[in-house]
Structure 1
Amino acid sequence: MIHSQMEDAQYEIRNQVLNPNQRQQLEDRRRIKEQLHQLEQDNESPTHMYRRKLKIASDVNLLDQHDSFYHTTKSLLVLFQIMGVMPIMRSPKGVDMPRTTFTWCSKAFLWAYFIYACETVIVLVVARERINKFISTSDKRFDEVIYNIIFMSIMVPHFLLPVASWRNGSEVAKFKNMWTDFQYKYLIVTGKPIVFPKLYPITWTLCIVSWSLSLVIILSQYYLQPDFQFYHTFAYYHIIAMLNGFCSLWFVNCTAFGTASKAFAKELTDVLATERPAAKLTEYRHLWVDLSHMMQQLGKAYSNMYGIYCLVIFFTTIIATYGSLSEIVEHGATYKENVEAHGLGKRPTLANGHDISSFDITALQ
C-alpha cells in the first residue's frame, strides 16, 4: 500500500513537470503495464497459448518405436559407419539417454580411426607415385596431364574428412535427435505417426548405387588408361563412394523433409476445417518452428561435407571441360584411338626398314 502511494506521488510530480506529449506517453506506458499485470493475474487469460510448453516427458521405448526416419535411413547410416565417414552411434534400447550419440572414444570412432589409417597408407602411396611420374616425365600428352590432375584432386577429400566430417559429428547427432523428438511430438499433436513409405527402398538403392558407380568409374579408367595400375584403383573406391554417399544423403534428407511437410500441411488443413482450431493451431505452430529449426540444423551439420563435395565436383568439371575444349579446338571433334599403345595397327616393314607399302614391286621382276 505504501509502495503504491509512493508510485502515485512520483507520478504526480513527474506529471507536473512534463509537457502534454510526455504526459500522454507516460500514461500509455502505465496503462500498458497495468494491462500486462492484469493478464498475468487472470486465470482465464489466453497468454498460455503463446508460451511453449516444457519438454514433453517421453519414454525412450516410444521414441525408438516411432522413429521412422531412423529405421528407414538406417542402411545409409550403417554404410557411413563402415566407411568411417560419420562415426555416430545409436543408443541401446531402454537406455535413458539421447538416441543418437557422438563421442571421440566410441567403438564406431575407433573403427573409423583404423579404416582411415589403412586408407591413408594406400592413398599416400598412390599419390606419391602419381606426383613423381608427373614431375619426372617430360614428354607427356595433354590428356594425360589433365587426367593426372583430376585424379590427384580426387584424393583431396580423403585428407579433409576428419576436419569436414568428424568435427561436426556432434551437430549430426543433434540433427538426428531433433528428428526423433519431432516425430514423437507430431504423434502427440496429430495422433498419427509420420510415415516415409518410399524412403526405405530409396536409401537401400542409393547405398548400392554409390558403391557400384564407384567401381564402374574407377575400373573403366583402369582399362582405358595404360598408366593406371590396378592397385591404384584401391585408393579411389572409397573416395568416389563417399562423394556419392554425400549426394545420396542430401537427397534422402530433402525427401524426408518433403514428406514431413506434406503430412503437416494435410493435418493443418483438417484442423482449420474444425469449429475451434485456436488451441490446436498453437501446437501446430510449435511443430512448424521445430521443422524450421531442423532445416537450419541440417545446414550446420553437413555444411562442411557438402562444401568439399561442391569443390571437388566444380574443380574436376572445370578441368575436364578445359581439357575437352582444348582437344576439340586443336584436333577437332573426332574420336582418336591410340592403337600403337596396344601393339596394333603397325605397318609391315622389310628387313632394311623400308615400308612395304611404298616398295616398288617391279624392282623384283
Structure 2
Amino acid sequence: MNIGDLADLYGDELHIKQISKWLRGSARAQEILKRAQLDSSDGKTIDEHDQFFRDHKLLLVLFRVLGVMPIQRGEIGRITFGWTSIPMIYAYVFYVVTSILVVLVGYERFDILLNKSRKFDEYIYSIIFIIYLIPHFWIPFVGWGVAYEVCDYKNSWGTFQLHYYKITGKNLKFPLLSTLIIIISMGCLILAAVFLLTLSALLEGFTLYHTTAYLHIITMINMNCALWYINCRAIGNASTALAESFQNDMDRNCVAYIVAHYRVLWLSLSELLQKLGNAYARTYATYSLFMMANITVAVYGFTSEIVDHGVRFSFKEIGLLVDATYCLLLLYVFCDCSHQASLNIADRVQTTLMSVNLNTVKLDARQEIELFLVAIKMNPPKVSLKGYSVVNRELVTSSVATMAIYLIVLLQFKISLVSIRG
C-alpha cells in the first residue's frame, strides 16, 4: 500500500503530504506501513490471522447439526452459504423429519387443549407447550433466510483481525473462548434434556416420545442465547485488546499517523457490532417476542392460580414460575451482553484520548485526536436490529413494562369472571 492508497483510505487527498511527514518521524509508523502491504482479499492471509473462526468453529458445527444455520468454510478464509450446498441439503432433510414429529406432537397438544383439558392449569400448560413448538416453523425465515447476512458478518471478523494485526503487529486473542463454547454447548443440551425428561416424568399427558419434538427446539433456544453471548464476548475481547494496544501506543508514539490508523480500526469494530445486530435481526426479534409471550402466559397462569386457590406452590405452579424465570433470564442475558459490548467499545478508547495532554503533542496529532473523538460521538457503538429496536438494558425494562400491561388486562378479565361466578 503506497501513500496514495493511504490517502484514499481516509478519503482526503490532503492527507498525502501529512502522511509523508508522519512516516519520516516514527519507526513505529514504518512498521505499520510495512504490514499494511498484506492483501486483505487474500484468503490464505485472512485465514492465518482469523483466530475467531478457529475458536468458535464448534459453535458453527452445532448450528449446522441443528439445521438452523447451514453455513460453512467453503473457501479458504471465507464463510459461505448456498441453497444447494451439502449443509443445506442436510438442513432440508433434518427439517422435514423434525417437522413430522412437531406436527404429530402439536396435534396431540391441541387435542388435549380442546378436548381433554378441564382444569385451568392444564389449559395453561397446553398453551405453553404449543408456544414452544412455534420456533420450529420460524427456522427457514430466521435461520436460512439470514444466512447470507451472517456470512458477511462472519467474514468481517477476518478482515478486522487482519487490520488489527497490521496496526499492532499481534494476532487478536480470545482467552478461553473455545473452552467456554464447549462448556456452554454441553450445558445447553443437558439442560434441554433434563427439562424435558422431568416434564415427561411429572406431567400427565406429556409422554416420552413428545420429548423428541421439543429437544431440538429447546436446545436451539438455549444455543441462540449462547451464540449471542459468545459473539458479544468476542467483541468485548477485541475492544479490550484494541484499547490496551492504543493506550500503549499513545504512551510511547502519540503521532498522527498511528492515531489515524486506530480511528479507522475502531470504526471497523463499531461497524462489526452493528453488523451483528443487522445479521441476526430476524432471529433475535422473534426470539424476544417468543420470550415475552412465554413469560406473559406463565406469569398469568401462576397469578391466576393464586387468585383461585391462594398460594399453594404445587408442582404445576412452581413449573410456571420456573418457566417465566428461565425465559426472563435468557432475555436479560441477551440484552445485557449487547449493553456490555457497546460500552466496552467506546469507554476505554475515549478515556485514553481524553487523557492525552494536547499541549505535548504535535498539531497534526492533536487534529487526529479531535477527529477520533468526533468519530466516537457521531458513530456511537450500539446493537440495532435493523433499526427496529436497540438491544440494551433498556429493552429489558421496556419489555417488562409491556408484559405488565398485558398481565393487568388479562387479570382484570380473570377477576371479572371470578366475580360473575361468585
Q: What TM-score, normalized by structure 1, do the two folds share? A: 0.75
1:70 alignment counterpart = 53
Mapped pair 1:83 → 2:83? no
Corresponding residue number in structure 1 for 2:44: 61
User: Residue by residue, what CA displacement relative to the aligned partner does 1:11-49 show, whole Å, maximum 9, x if unpaired?
Assistant: xxxxxxxxxxxxxxxxxxxxxxxxxxxx96996355999
Cα distance in 1, alignment partners of residues 294 and 200 from structure 2: 18
Q: Residue 275 and residue 286 in structure 1: after superposition, are their counterparts in 2 closer, same or farther (change >3 A)? A: closer
1:33 aligned residue: none
Of 251, 256, 259, 1:273 maps to 251
Aligned to 2:109: 130
C-alpha separation in 1, matches of 2:97 and 2:237:
39
Distance 1:290 1:42 in 2: 20
* CA shift for structure 1 position 317: 1.1
**Residues 47 and 295 of structure 1: CA distance in aligned 2, closer, same or farther (over 3 Å):** farther
* 1:210 partnered with 2:183: no
Could you tell me how far apart the structure 2 residues matched to 1:303 and 1:43 are? 40
Mark the CA change 1:145 to 1:281 in structure 2 (over 3 Å): closer, same or farther: same
Quote how far apart the aligned CAs of 1:185 are: 1.1
Q: Aligned partners of 1:204 and 1:281: how far apart in 2?
A: 38
Q: SS in structure 2 opposite 1:73?
A: helix
**CA separation in 1, counterparts of 2:75 and 2:96?**
28
| Partner secondary structure for residue 69 of structure 1 | helix
Instruction: Flag the 1:80–1:308 CA change in 2: closer, same or farther, 3 A.
Output: same
- The structure-2 alpha-carbon separation of the partners of 1:61 and 1:132, relative to structure 1 and needing over 3 Å to count, comes to same
Aligned residue for 2:172, secondary structure, equals: coil
1:132 is displaced (CA, Å) by 2.2
Instruction: State percent identity of aligned pairs.
Output: 37
Q: Say which is worse superposed, 39-48 or 55-64, in terms of deviation.
A: 39-48
Query: Which residue of 2 is the match for residue 309 of structure 1?
Result: 287
Give 1:192's aligned amino acid: K
**271, 278, 285: which one pairs with 2:263?**
285
Q: State the match for 1:192 in structure 2.
A: 170
Task: Measure how far apart 1:296 and its partner are.
Answer: 0.8
Letter in 1 for 2:145: R
> How do residues 192-271 of structure 1 correspond to structure 2 at under 5 angstroms?
192-271=170-249
C-alpha deviation, 1:133, in angstroms:
2.6
Alignment of 1:78-227 (within 5 A): 78-93=61-76, 99-137=78-116, 140-227=118-205
Higher helix share: 2
SS, match of residue 87 in structure 1: coil
Which structure 1 segments of 5+ residues have no match? 1-38, 339-365
1:125-150 CA distance string (max 9 Å, x none): 1111111232223x611111000000
Cα distance change of structure 1 residues 43 and 86 upon mapping to structure 2, 3 Å threshold: closer
Computing the radius of gyration from Cα coordinates, the structure with the larger value is: 1
Question: Number of paired residues?
Answer: 292
Distance in 2 of aligned mates of 1:106 and 1:177: 18
C-alpha offsets along residues 203-255 of structure 1, whole Å, 9 cap, x if unaligned?
A: 11111111111101111111111111111111100000001011001110111
Task: Give the Cα separation in 2 of the matches to 1:101 and 1:313.
Answer: 30
- Distance, in Å, in 2 between the alignment partners of 1:55 and 1:176 is 23
Cα shift at 1:62: 3.0
Q: Which amino acid aligns with 2:311?
A: A
Greater relative contact order (CA < 8 Å, ≥ 6 in sequence):
1
Q: 1:219/1:107 Cα in 2 relative to 1: closer, same or farther (>3 Å)?
A: same
What is the one-letter code of the residue matched to 1:135?
A: L
Alpha-carbon distance in 1 for matches of 2:186, 2:52? 19
Q: 2:222, 2:80 → 1: CA distance?
A: 24
In structure 2, distance between residues paired with 1:199 and 1:118: 33
CA gap 1:259/1:282 in 2 versus in 1, 3 angstroms: same
* Alpha-carbon distance change, 128 to 267 in structure 1, aligned in 2, over 3 angstroms: same
Distance of 1:220 and 1:42 partners within structure 2? 67
After superposition, what is the alpha-carbon deviation per residue over 1:281-318, rounded to whole angstroms, capped at 9, x for unaligned? 11111111111111111011111111122112111111
Unaligned 5+ residue runs, structure 2?
Answer: 1-11, 23-32, 317-422
C-alpha RMSD of the superposition:
2.4
- For 2:226, the aligned partner's letter is S
What residue number does 1:44 align with? 17
Quote the Cα distance in structure 1 between the aligned partners of 2:270 and 2:246. 16
Paired residue secondary structure (2:92):
helix
Q: Secondary structure at the match of 1:194?
A: coil
Do the aligned residues in 1 keep the contact of 2:19 with 2:257 (CA within 8 Å)? no
Distance in 2, Cα, partners of 1:92 & 1:262? 30
